[in-house]
Amino acid sequence: MRNEEEHIIDVEIRTGHGDNDPIHIFYEIQNSLIPEGKVFLGDKSLKICRFCKQDSNQTTFKKVAHVVPEFMGNKKYFSNFECDKCNDFFSAYETSLASYGGILNTFSLIKGKNGHPKHKGNIEDTETFVRDGQVVIRIHNPESRDSIKSVQYDEKTGLMTFNTTKYSYVPLDAYKALTKIGLCMLTDDEVLDYELTRKWLIKEAELDAEIYKPFFLVFQKTGERLFPHPWTVLLKKRNQFTNEPCPTHALLINYGLFKFQIFLPGNSKDQWIWKGNRLTLPIENLISHSNKDSEKQLSRSFDIVDFSSAEKLINPRHSFRVPFKSKK
């Protein structure tokens, strides 16, 4: 996926089913954050920022630093190695990631820093919010064509279709918010292998967009299960697959109605991969969808979102379907 005049690499996305789960075949769980109690990553007495490398003589560590963004419902996972300046700087990344989630953040029924998030449709003039534990959609101009199309119900399929907009966001910033979670979950020694990534997060360096294009692909699934508290799992490539051309670390993030999988970019020990002609990306079965064709042959599909663009998307359209049962 480099310039044609240079080296071209083929990306092989591996999926499976049942016990054949590629991500857990190639990787083992290294670290996980599950909602069983408060966790503080890093040494409290060692005030050195993991991201800008400044210590307490150069910067401050007064704010509570969330490993997982608070809008995801995180009330339990914190770090001792993020300074206040980096905390403020990364807030823009988290805002883009929250805006990417759009109205589904409201449907997730998750309380963030300012309670349940509200959503306003930019075109169809709707307002969606949570009241008494239920999602309420208020259509301000129900006779307009856009408002009529904003919510539609198909009695045959039992699916409710929503057509709305998201708030504006920068895809690459949203991806950086996910990557930052992964860097927080690494050991102190492993962070050294991601020096380029660290500098990239604080805009002191760049990751070549052509080379790292496959890493900026986010594998996503929505709506199958509701996670009221975020779950994150950091996976590391198993020793027996050292020579397999797949990234050293993968990250699974679950919150609300979202499941994400990414591969951490910029590891210095992964540079050998680009000397070959193949990159392997194993995908967790829970991220992909099971499909059967007319001959009942099973196949897998998945939703891929390209987060490589640094251009702001202005109120992009957002359409999705969810099962709906009428109370009539």
Q: Tell me, what's the pLDDT at 209?
A: 82
Low-confidence ranges of the chain (pLDDT < 50): 1-5, 326-328
Q: What's the pLDDT at 298? A: 57
DSSP-assigned beta bridge partners for residue 249: 236
The residues, any chain, with a CB within 8 Å of residue 127's CB and separated by 6 or more, are 118, 119, 120, 121, 137, 138, 140
pLDDT of 17: 79
Indicate the helix (H) or strand (E) that contains 147.
Answer: helix 145-150
pLDDT tens-digit series, residues 51-65: 999 999 999 999 999
- For the chain, the residue count is 328
Q: What is the pLDDT of residue 301?
A: 67
**CA dihedral of residues 59, 62, 67, 70 (deg, nearest 10):** -130
Residue 283: per-residue pLDDT: 94
Q: How many CB atoms lie within 10 A of CB 247?
A: 25
SS3 238: coil
User: Is residue 120 a contact partner of residue 127, using CB atoms and an 8 Å limit?
Assistant: yes
